[in-house]
Amino acid sequence: MVTTAVIIRDKYVRNVSCSVNNTLLGQEKETVIFIPESFMPSASPWMVALAVILTTSPWMVSMAVILAVFIIFMAVSICCIKKLQREKKILSGEKEVEQEEKEITQQLQEELRWRRTYLHAADVVLDPDTAHPELFLSEDRRSVRRGPYRQRVPDNPERFDSQPCVLGWESFASGKHYWEVEVENVMVWTVGVCRHSVERKGEVLLIPQNGFWTLEMFGNQYRALSSPERILPLKES
């Protein structure tokens, strides 16, 4: 038996003939072999890459796959982090703007509320018949000061005889009323409202239980003469 092999390098060769000649017997045999194109494909890039991968060891393939997955995961994570940072920055800016708008709105509302009080301004004129004997009223009865001695005035039921107080001429039964009081060179003073029926004789405490609702300046502190007293966080302008 004779065995031989032929290597075909031309990819365009499709038909191969094999001829055997026996000179002793005077015989000759010939056969034709057809080679399909699929047996001689061209080397495309992806096939080369596939061949390289297939020729490597299994653990290297696993490492390559893991590395590729890790790189993709890191890229997605970085994109997500940057997106969250942008959204957080935008949200933080929106919150700051919202807080500023809220503060401005509160300031405007407070300013509007304060200005509305001017609509209820009252023309306060003092009543000399209620003034303590040591209180001296101006001619227009819009200001008062405490003098060094007691005046000789009628001791009528309306007059305060112990507390240095004076009431306004006009009284109010309902509604909203606003007035301003200017205090000069006095470190102790009290201003407020009271019922018409309050006790005016003797040492009366100026508290709500006795019909007085007042604010007091005493010892460089502003206090509401409630029960108990409450210090007000106010400052002189």
Measured distance CA(126)–CA(160) in Å, rounded = 13
Fold of 119-237: Jelly Rolls (2.60.120)
Q: Are the beta carbons of 127 and 169 closer than 8 angstroms? A: yes
The whole-number pLDDT of residue 62 equals 63
Per residue in 159-179, pLDDT (tens digit) is 999 999 999 998 888 888 888
Measured distance CA(188)–CA(185) in Å, rounded = 9
Question: Bridge partners of 21?
Answer: 28
With a cut of 50, say whether residue 46 has pLDDT above it: no
- Give Cα 143 distance to the centre of its chain: 49
Per residue in 197-208, pLDDT (tens digit) is 999 999 999 999
Q: Which of 28, 1, 33 lies closest to 14 in space, CA to CA?
A: 33
Domain parsing of the chain, residue ranges:
119-237
Q: Is 0.75 topped by the overall pTM?
A: no
E strand map for the chain: 15-22, 27-34, 135-137, 144-146, 189-194, 212-218, 221-224, 230-232
Measured distance CA(125)–CA(10) in Å, rounded = 125
